[in-house]
Amino acid sequence: MSSATDNRTASTTADDTLKAKTRDANVISGGHLVARALRNEGVDTIFTLCGGHIIDIYDGCIDEGIRVIDVRHEQVAAHAADGYARQTGKLGCVVTTAGPGCTNAVTGIATAFRCESAVLHIGGQGAMSQHMMGSLQDLPHVDMMRPITKFSAGVRSTERVADMISMAARECFNGAPGPSYLEIPRDILDREVDIAKAVIPEPGRYRASTRSAGDAADVERLADLLVHAERPAILFGQQVWTARGHEAAAALLRGLDIPGYFNGGSRGLLPPSDPHHFDRTRSQAFAQADVIVIVGTPFDFRMGYGKRIGRDLKLVQVDMGYSTVGKNRDIDLGLVGDPGTILSAVLQAASGRIHSGARAARREWMRELTAAEEVATAKLMPLFKSDAALINPYRVAWEINEFLGDDTIYIGDGGDVVTISAQAVRPRRPGQWMDPGALGSLGVGTGFAIAAGLANPDKEVLCYYGDGAFSMTAFDIETANRFKVPYVAVVGNNSAMNQIRYGQLAKYGAERGQVGSLLGDVPFGRFAEMLGGYGEEVREPSKIAGALQRARESVRKTGRSAVINIWVDPKVYAPGTMAQTMYK
């Protein structure tokens, strides 16, 4: 018997000596009220790392049939809750203890905030009776979380626990989605109250519809613009997938013969073979179109704050959040509401109205863009097929795309890893692309992979990390194995934080330009072996495809995650890195 088994057996034996408390059916504790309220919100899984402040919530989750996924670092728990929200379309939930439990989760909550992901963060706190006395792990959590959430508050009575959870959850879906934070002191959670006196909102009785179509007159105006446009283009962002408006978006492109571009979670909205799917000619389209519609993505740095869109055109913005419309760039028309509902209404208003001349013009427009796409792809093929002895990162991205199945969820975690893979990786179906989003957080991949596996047990999950990102959260691969959601981890290893290193070298030169951005050479393939899975080191481009296939077969056979560590050329950078566009 192993020492680990001995430890678990000894712990179980000790636990068996404890007497379980007999519960009165007429009373309920604060922790059990949390669990009941979460179940009413449709939460079936929480992500957490244990702490003394929050253990009664776990006990309640057992009674309510809520799955408890415990990780090794709260950052992973927060990213997993975000990933679960993205994959299911439901409320994600992370539960942390006080103090460092909360602060460790901040990056994950901030990522959800910038990515507009509906995550409820429940945090512990010292007892109310110890308020401002310096209790264990006491911090001003509510004040700390307020700038990166849509709602941040504390619960001050056990009777209000469920009511406050419904309030926080409601704010997660108010306009553009986002996270909420709710602090619950330990004595509030542990206290038992008469269940008849607890405020427990009834499911389905305190929600308004979020499927707003906006102003009907503006829907007609947008339909008119698209009916008469000869060179229209549409860019779909994260919100389209978040709001599950992907079918309406695809129908609009196909119904009106419009080229579509995609970023964030909207990648995969159309299969790569669809004639309305474009991705290498966005700059050309933005410069030459007569009508551009931006749906569900802000004019932030990824869009050059709107400056990369031509001025001699009609610009329309559709968004779930009022404050985003027209921010950083003037527009001709703005619509606030649910993307899918608005797009369906526009298609209905425009159908059958496009005259033959406009239809012919836009088909010629699509032929021009298709030809330009082919030229752009041809220019990239030498990189994608590079046989250089030092493996080109573009070759890795190409091989991953060739490896993907129809049901593979692709996750990118890193800097240039995400940027370069975006030029090659084409998810086959909606919801099968995940990336860090506008905050640019490293370390999202492991939590996302766990969440994707839990939400989609019948799909394959592959996460492509930079070596810097992998080292941040990789120990929770054990969590993925423990909860039977193994995945294929691929590491593009250049022993550097290369996206930053390029800027340093360009600014300070070789002698001073590698301070703080060089890492050690780590054979990460051995990490998987330590956890009972398959690992492999790849140093030749011709060996990539075989290694990926062996990883897939091992995951399926052993139920353990595999790590393929690919040593890549540290002197190859993404175009955006070389142009430093993230700072412009």
| Residue 124 shares a structural domain with residue 244 | no
How far is 265 from 297, CA to CA, in rounded Å? 10
pLDDT of residue 580: 84
* CATH label of the domain that carries residue 228: 3.40.50.1220
pLDDT digits (tens, 9 = 90+) for 293-330: 999 999 998 999 999 898 899 999 999 999 999 999 99
- List the single range of 14-28, 446-460, 497-511, 519-533 with lowest mean pLDDT: 14-28
How far is 30 from 193, CA to CA, in rounded Å? 8
- Among 368, 227, 230, 235, residue whose Cα is nearest residue 299: 235
Q: Is 17 within the bounds of a domain?
A: no
Residue 404 has pLDDT above 60, yes or no: yes
Q: Is 299 within the bounds of a domain?
A: yes
How far is 285 from 268, CA to CA, in rounded Å? 20
pLDDT of residue 133: 74
Q: DSSP for 420-473, please give it.
A: HHTTT---SSTT-EE--GGG--TT-HHHHHHHHHHH-TTSEEEEEEEHHHHHHH
| Residue 157 shares a structural domain with residue 265 | no
State mean pLDDT over 147-158.
Answer: 97
- E strands within 84-199? 92-96, 119-125, 151-154, 180-185, 192-194
How far is 253 from 257, CA to CA, in rounded Å? 6
pLDDT digits (tens, 9 = 90+) for 111-132: 999 999 999 999 999 887 888 7
| Residue 361 shares a structural domain with residue 459 | no
Exposure class string for 226-247: b at 16+ Cβ within 10 A, else e: bbbbbbbbbbbbbbbbbbebbe
pLDDT of residue 5: 45
Beta carbons within 8 Å of 222's beta carbon, 6+ residues apart: 293, 316, 318, 333, 335, 346
The helix/strand count (H/E) of the chain reads as: 23, 19
| Residue 284 shares a structural domain with residue 186 | no
pLDDT digits (tens, 9 = 90+) for 255-307: 999 999 999 999 999 999 999 999 999 999 999 999 999 999 999 989 999 99
pTM for this prediction: 0.94
Q: Is 380 within the bounds of a domain?
A: no
How far is 226 from 313, CA to CA, in rounded Å? 12
Q: Is 5 within the bounds of a domain?
A: no
| Residue 273 shares a structural domain with residue 389 | no
pLDDT of residue 7: 54
Q: Dihedral, CA atoms, 212, 83, 294, 352, nearest 10 degrees?
A: -60
How far is 35 from 192, CA to CA, in rounded Å? 14
Vertex 400: Cα angle to 395 and 402 (nearest 5): 95
How far is 333 from 324, CA to CA, in rounded Å? 13
* CATH label of the domain that carries residue 175: 3.40.50.970
Residue 213 DSSP SS3 = coil
| Residue 34 shares a structural domain with residue 103 | yes
pLDDT digits (tens, 9 = 90+) for 349-387: 999 999 888 899 999 999 999 999 999 999 999 999 999
* Mean per-residue pLDDT of the chain: 93
- Among 556, 334, 549, 543, residue whose Cα is nearest residue 460: 556
pLDDT digits (tens, 9 = 90+) for 95-104: 999 999 999 9
- List the single range of 153-157, 162-166, 205-209, 568-572 with lowest mean pLDDT: 205-209
Q: Between 287 and 4, where is the model more confident?
A: 287
| Residue 355 shares a structural domain with residue 502 | no
Cα dist. 143→153, 183, 475, 488 in Å?
8, 11, 31, 39
| Residue 170 shares a structural domain with residue 45 | yes
- Among 566, 435, 434, residue whose Cα is nearest residue 494: 566
| Residue 45 shares a structural domain with residue 78 | yes
Residue 59 has pLDDT above 50, yes or no: yes
pLDDT of residue 10: 46
- List the single range of 35-49, 123-137, 355-369, 505-519 with lowest mean pLDDT: 123-137
HSE-CB for 26 with a 13 A CA cutoff: 1
Q: Which domain holds residue 107?
A: 27-197
| Residue 393 shares a structural domain with residue 365 | no
Beta carbons within 8 Å of 476's beta carbon, 6+ residues apart: 71, 72, 73, 76, 446, 447, 450
Residue 549's pLDDT band (boundaries 50, 70, 90)?
Answer: very high
Report the percent of the chain where pLDDT is more than 70. Answer: 96
pLDDT of residue 4: 47
Residue 205's pLDDT band (boundaries 50, 70, 90)?
Answer: confident
pLDDT of residue 20: 54
Residue 21's pLDDT band (boundaries 50, 70, 90)?
Answer: low
Beta carbons of 537 and 567 less than 8 angstroms apart: yes
pLDDT of residue 448: 98
Q: Is 467 within the bounds of a domain?
A: yes
Q: Is 79 within the bounds of a domain?
A: yes
Residue 209 has pLDDT above 90, yes or no: no
Report the percent of the chain where pLDDT is more than 90. Answer: 84
| Residue 190 shares a structural domain with residue 225 | no
Beta carbons of 242 and 296 less than 8 angstroms apart: yes
Terminal alpha carbon distance of the chain: 59
Q: What is the count of structural domains for the chain?
A: 3
| Residue 61 shares a structural domain with residue 184 | yes
pLDDT of residue 15: 54
